[in-house]
Structure 1
Amino acid sequence: MKQEWSTLQYTVIFLILSTLFIGCNQDKGNKISFASKESSKFDSLARINPQEARRITDEVLQRAELTDNDSLFLQGYYYKTIINVNSGLSDKVREDSEKALKYSDKIGEENYKHKIYTVLGKFYVQNNEYTVALDYYLKARDYFQSQNDMINLAVSYNGLGILYFEMGDYDNSVINFNKAYTIYTKVGNKRGIGVFYANLGSVFSTKSDFKRANFYQKKSLDIFNSLNDTVSIASCMINISNNDRELKNYDSSFKMLDEALRLSEKINNDRLKERVLHNLGLNYLAKRDLKNAHYYFNEELSLSDKMKFAGGRLGALEQLSYVTKLQGRYADHALMTERYYKLKDSVFGSEVKQKIEELKWANEFEKSSLEKKLLLSKYQIEREKSSLLLIVSVMIGIVSVLVLGIVWLFFRNNKKSLKLSEIENERLQEKIDFEHLNFEKEKAEKEILKLRSVHQDLELETKNREITSISLQLLGKNNLMAEIAEILDKNSKTPNKIESDLRSILFHNQNQKKDWEKFREVFEKVHPGFFTEIKSRFSSLTATDIRICAYIRIRMSLNEVASLLNISLQSLHTSRYRIRKKLNLDTQQSLDDFICEIVTGNNNV
């Protein structure tokens, strides 16, 4: 009991100190309002005219250097952070945001500090670091809510909506988008309303309602066109092109992407350009133009490597793996698949833990917000009744303490239940993630083994043909040389007799029947059972037909076969057509592949 009462006393003291702190900071309202308006104007300028925004940023930092003014340094590095996030310059974002936060702490500028948090939240969402992003967005939302800064509060809500959307939690995403929209409508923020329509269109796209998604995206595009917001215009065009592709409106989709590519290059925004390249690849893939699809995904991969953007690399590698497989480039497919899974493991290996941590942060913040509201409410009641008698004030204080004690006990018990539930969920999610990773790895290994098997079969086929050809050449050569040597060894013969015998040998070596028997003898050693199998299955084949089939089996060219049979190519084509009829082959079936598979028993006739 003593421990519980001491905690309650501490809570009451915290309530009083918090209220005094809020009262002391009311004088800063004008400064915060001014900073908010000034930075909001630059946010719009950075989207509409990036070149002018860079010029202003350089000018601010030059004045800061000349005057050694900490406020100007803060302002300049904040501007640079916004520009770098919009341009996808990851390394610069971290460097410049650290400098901006250092100066905000140095001069005690909380408004700028929390605006930097919203920019960093957006940056870390783009880089799939959701836990870090959530931390920054919650801090910003908490602060702007306490300051009643509605414009920046709406920015925080919108950022949280995008974060939940990327995590696949569409219900929480829509809740936060609606909160932002309520504020944008109330303050008359036209751009904010346009952002809401774009986000709502993205939600409908995930639900495969592409016509409705395009309706909201086009409403958003009209608003951004009226504001000359280049980044948002290009982003809307990319979203509309995605919906058009799903609706099979390829001409419209390509038109939107071409214009978005032009805008991204105009403002030198590599992050936007990467999105355009990815979607151009998807368009060509949908149309089965594998050559162009491979080109644009490869361009996306190069640009993502340049930006050090893991999300872009993952998307490009995944699509390149699929495209090379469709192209039959199995070695490239295996390479892309291996690179994809290595990168995926490094980026998303802790994804399940990350999401649990994000949910825990959200729960903690909601509880903290509720406790703060309850404490503030109790304090206001005490303040309004300060004119009453002392005994009434004491009684109200006691009741307030009791209520706070009940609330605290309730949340303590609830927290324990949530903790147990989180532990169970974490174990379950880790098990599911582990099984999924094993399945993906086994699948990749099977693909690689299959490619190796195909490669080995091709090598074996080539070696068989080489063996057969070499054996025939050696056999013919040895027989010919033996006969010539025998004639030359007989010294009693006259030169005319020797010449006559040599001509006779040449004549006999041109005897096709004798050559065929020699060929058949060597062929049977390399492909045992071939002649027996083909005769038993296809009794209608003639001796010449079977001979042609044997030449096909060792992959002889048409010219080679025609020369061996001493017939024209036209006659050979006629013979092949006749063989196809006897084998009952469809027009789509390859005669060569069918004959090569007979010896392994792979055909069902």
Structure 2
Amino acid sequence: MDKTNKYRVLVAFLSVIILVLLYLFLSEKKYINLSLKSMPPILTENYSTYKDELDSLLQANVEEAKNRINIYYAEAHDKEDTLQLSYLYYYKAIVKRKWGIQSDSAEFFLKRSIIYSEKWNNLELASKARYRLGVHFMEKHNYPVSLNYFLEAKDYFKKTDSTNLMLANIYNMLGSTYTLLGELEKGLYYHKKAYPLFQRKRDSLGLAAHYSNISKVYQSNGDLPKAIDYLKSSVRIYKNNKDTINWTNCLVDLSNTALGLKKYEEAKYYINQAYNLASLAKDTISRGHIMIHYGNIYRAEGNQKKALEYYTQGLQLAKSAYIEQIDLYVLKNIADIYIESKQYERAYPYINRYYVLKDSISGAGVRDKINVLQYDNELQQKQTENEIERQKYRNVVLIYTIVVLFFCLILLSFWFMYRNKVKSLRISKLKNIRLEEKVKAEQEFLKLQSQQHEREIEAKAQLQKVQQLQYEFELQSKKELENLKIKQFEIEMEAKNRELVGINLQLLSKNKLMDEIEEIVNKKPSNIENSFFELKKTIRLNRNQEEDWIQFKKVFEKIHPNFFEILSEKYSALTKTEIRICTYIKIKMAIDQISDLLNVSHQSVLTSRYRIRKKFQLKREEDLDEFIRNI
């Protein structure tokens, strides 16, 4: 009965813990919901009047809209009304756009609008400003930055309303940006996503922009006939809406596409229409670019003179426009035409301008690549941060779920432990008995194994001792054999040296004998002078020192190989007599023996040693005999 009461107390305690965890979970959920709603409310009602007024003025009278915006801006700035400033900065940027001014001030206004909008949790306005910033950087050819802003705007409008017309425009611009970055598949994907939204909202101008932009994807893919079909659809819509600027641009694109298909007359037809529209609109810059396109057509036809005329006129008319790629292309074409006609002096200024402009574009390309890496990293970081925020609530739910499940499992485990406690005790007793028997058997087995292991160790130790003794014996035998070989070599060397010394002594005795005979002859009376002269001559001839030297040299080279080669290679300045003296020094002959052997005076040998020292370049403290023996 006591055990049952303990179990009930334990179950009650665990139930209380589970209830506390559920309460904490619900409190956390409520806190999260409150934190999402803790931002200041968006007070759009107070600003709806002037917003509608500004929207209508921007369509009808841009100058009047600009004046009203400045008035509202001054009031909001004095009141430090950041909510109103967020809208007014946005409209200031739109006015800059309407006036055709692509300045850094528009970028500044849009960024300030984003800061104030996010402060008031007005994410819709912040996303619209990001879309405008994307367009701004796209027109400045900074496509990586543009792509980043478009993607941020897309994330918001996709969450709030997937059928929004703003989302269609963002998809359209994303398609164009990816196409310009060379990612054609992504570009086509976003253009196709924009099309049903434009169609659902019946936005004809949006559809026209879609057709115009998607044609560029097919131009890049090389599908020019399909590109022409889309451009014709775009031209029809712009014509019906009397949108002269976009109508003109589409006609120019049509002309370029037809030129790519080598349909020269069709290309001229479209470019003529574009030129007439630009003339009616008094758009000098557009006329200049159209003139350049005329030049492209005539050059493709082979009429270089007329092409050159249109190129130069087009550059003059469009010189105020900053379109680097067009200027680069035209400068190159003009230079090529002059070079083909061998007018090199005229070609030089255009070539010079071409390379200067090309270098500046290459630098911009490198900056774009750096921006791609930088903004890819920033985009990935922002996506990671957003993912972390989205996972916060899920993580909290997961943690509490795991904790509840954990305590439930603990509860169930206690239940099963209580039920199986008696059984487990009985089983444990039986197991203990069996375990003891098993332990005894294992202990006996381990004893036998240890005894066998000890015997193996002893056998291995004995084997190692035998191997060690065998190794020491072999080592000692090798040493003794080497000593015997060394002694045998020394005996052989000593025998050879004795042979050399014997030869030298033989030579010495021979020379002494000859000297004594010569001395006896010299003492004879002068009446038999002729006879003794012949005798002296015969004695000198019988000396034959050269043959004796050759015989000596053969024996010497057997004992000291390469000695003469080393002397001749390293010390080529040595004379034959000096080489002989070096040889006699090598076999440790004394100076007196050398002088007798060479039949010269003691001083002559010393003089030769001095010369040898100089040729060896020895220092005063170095020993000549030791040096020669080490050679």
**TM-score, normalising length from structure 1?**
0.51
Confirm whether residue 355 of structure 1 aligns to residue 365 of structure 2: no
Residue 114 of structure 2 contacts residue 130 of structure 2 at CA under 8 Å; is this kept in 1?
no
- Secondary structure of the residue aligned to 2:130 is helix
Confirm whether residue 236 of structure 1 aligns to residue 250 of structure 2: yes
Q: CA offsets, 1:70-90, max 9 Å, x none?
A: 657435423223224xx4x44
Residue 78 (structure 1) aligns with: 93
Q: CA offsets, 1:556-578, max 9 Å, x none?
A: xxxxxxxxxxxxxxxxxxxxxxx
The alpha carbon displacement at 1:167 in A equals 2.4
Residue 286 of structure 2 contacts residue 318 of structure 2 at CA under 8 Å; is this kept in 1?
no
Distance 1:373 1:333, change over 3 A: same
- Secondary structure of the residue aligned to 2:218 is helix
The alpha carbon displacement at 1:215 in A equals 1.0
Distance 2:391 2:68 in 1: 44
Q: CA offsets, 1:352-388, max 9 Å, x none?
A: 56336425634753674476357526626967999x9
The alpha carbon displacement at 1:342 in A equals 1.5
Residue 205 (structure 2) aligns with: 191
Residue 97 of structure 1 contacts residue 116 of structure 1 at CA under 8 Å; is this kept in 2?
no
1:124 is aligned, of 122, 137, 141, to 137
Distance 2:304 2:29 in 1: 66
Of structures 1 and 2, the one with the larger relative CO (CA 8 A, separation 6+) is 1
Name the amino acid aligned to 1:121: G
Distance 1:223 1:326 in 2: 43
Residue 62 (structure 2) aligns with: 54
Distance 1:242 1:350, change over 3 A: closer
Distance 2:204 2:405 in 1: 51
Residue 534 (structure 2) aligns with: none
Q: CA offsets, 1:363-417, max 9 Å, x none?
A: 753674476357526626967999x99835999xxxxxxxxxxxxxxxxxxxxxx
Residue 344 (structure 1) aligns with: 358
1:209 is aligned, of 223, 227, 230, to 223
Residue 296 (structure 2) aligns with: 282
The alpha carbon displacement at 1:56 in A equals 4.9
The alpha carbon displacement at 1:170 in A equals 1.3
Residue 320 (structure 2) aligns with: 306
Distance 1:354 1:236 in 2: 27
Name the amino acid aligned to 2:94: Y
Residue 317 of structure 1 contacts residue 336 of structure 1 at CA under 8 Å; is this kept in 2?
yes
Name the amino acid aligned to 1:288: G
Distance 1:333 1:110, change over 3 A: farther
- Secondary structure of the residue aligned to 1:260 is helix
Residue 141 (structure 1) aligns with: 154
Residue 334 (structure 2) aligns with: 320
Distance 2:311 2:33 in 1: 57
Distance 1:341 1:143, change over 3 A: farther
- Secondary structure of the residue aligned to 1:307 is coil
**Count of residue correspondences:** 370
Q: CA offsets, 1:41-71, max 9 Å, x none?
A: 77xx98xx8xx45345345346547866765
Distance 1:390 1:32 in 2: 49
| Structure 1 residues not aligned, in runs of 5+ | 1-13, 396-605
2:404 is aligned, of 391, 414, 417, to 391
Name the amino acid aligned to 2:142: E
The alpha carbon displacement at 1:94 in A equals 2.3
The alpha carbon displacement at 1:200 in A equals 1.9
Residue 259 (structure 1) aligns with: 273
Residue 138 of structure 2 contacts residue 177 of structure 2 at CA under 8 Å; is this kept in 1?
yes
Residue 160 of structure 1 contacts residue 176 of structure 1 at CA under 8 Å; is this kept in 2?
yes
Residue 98 (structure 1) aligns with: 108
The alpha carbon displacement at 1:146 in A equals 5.1
Residue 308 (structure 2) aligns with: 294
Q: CA offsets, 1:444-471, max 9 Å, x none?
A: xxxxxxxxxxxxxxxxxxxxxxxxxxxx
Distance 1:96 1:219, change over 3 A: same
Name the amino acid aligned to 1:57: A
Residue 433 (structure 1) aligns with: none
Name the amino acid aligned to 2:404: I
Distance 2:323 2:32 in 1: 42
Distance 2:94 2:340 in 1: 46
Residue 452 (structure 1) aligns with: none
Distance 1:385 1:189, change over 3 A: farther
Name the amino acid aligned to 2:297: N
Residue 77 of structure 1 contacts residue 97 of structure 1 at CA under 8 Å; is this kept in 2?
no
Q: What is the aligned-residue identity percentage?
A: 20
Distance 2:346 2:219 in 1: 32
Distance 1:15 1:144 in 2: 26
The alpha carbon displacement at 1:239 in A equals 1.4
Distance 1:33 1:225 in 2: 36
| Structure 2 residues not aligned, in runs of 5+ | 1-27, 78-83, 409-631
Q: CA offsets, 1:224-268, max 9 Å, x none?
A: 333333332222211111122223333332232233234345556
Residue 115 (structure 1) aligns with: 128
Distance 1:382 1:106, change over 3 A: closer
- Secondary structure of the residue aligned to 1:128 is coil
Distance 1:278 1:173, change over 3 A: farther
Distance 1:248 1:138, change over 3 A: same
Task: Map 1:558-569; keep pairs closer than 5 Å.
Answer: none
Distance 2:312 2:287 in 1: 13
Distance 1:201 1:351 in 2: 25
- Secondary structure of the residue aligned to 2:262 is coil
Residue 211 of structure 2 contacts residue 233 of structure 2 at CA under 8 Å; is this kept in 1?
yes
Residue 134 of structure 1 contacts residue 358 of structure 1 at CA under 8 Å; is this kept in 2?
no
Residue 436 (structure 2) aligns with: none
Distance 1:274 1:122 in 2: 24
Name the amino acid aligned to 1:98: F
Distance 1:166 1:56, change over 3 A: farther
Q: CA offsets, 1:174-231, max 9 Å, x none?
A: 1222232343345443332322222222222223322211111112222333333333
Task: Map 1:488-507; keep pairs closer than 5 Å.
Answer: none
Distance 1:264 1:390, change over 3 A: farther
Residue 213 of structure 1 contacts residue 243 of structure 1 at CA under 8 Å; is this kept in 2?
yes
Residue 81 of structure 1 contacts residue 97 of structure 1 at CA under 8 Å; is this kept in 2?
no
Name the amino acid aligned to 2:235: L
The alpha carbon displacement at 1:104 in A equals 5.8
Residue 194 (structure 2) aligns with: 180
Residue 212 of structure 2 contacts residue 230 of structure 2 at CA under 8 Å; is this kept in 1?
yes
**TM-score, normalising length from structure 2?**
0.49
Residue 234 (structure 2) aligns with: 220
Distance 1:106 1:379, change over 3 A: closer
Distance 1:95 1:368, change over 3 A: closer
Distance 1:101 1:361, change over 3 A: closer
Distance 2:231 2:350 in 1: 34
Distance 2:229 2:160 in 1: 36
Residue 144 of structure 2 contacts residue 371 of structure 2 at CA under 8 Å; is this kept in 1?
yes
Distance 1:26 1:99, change over 3 A: closer
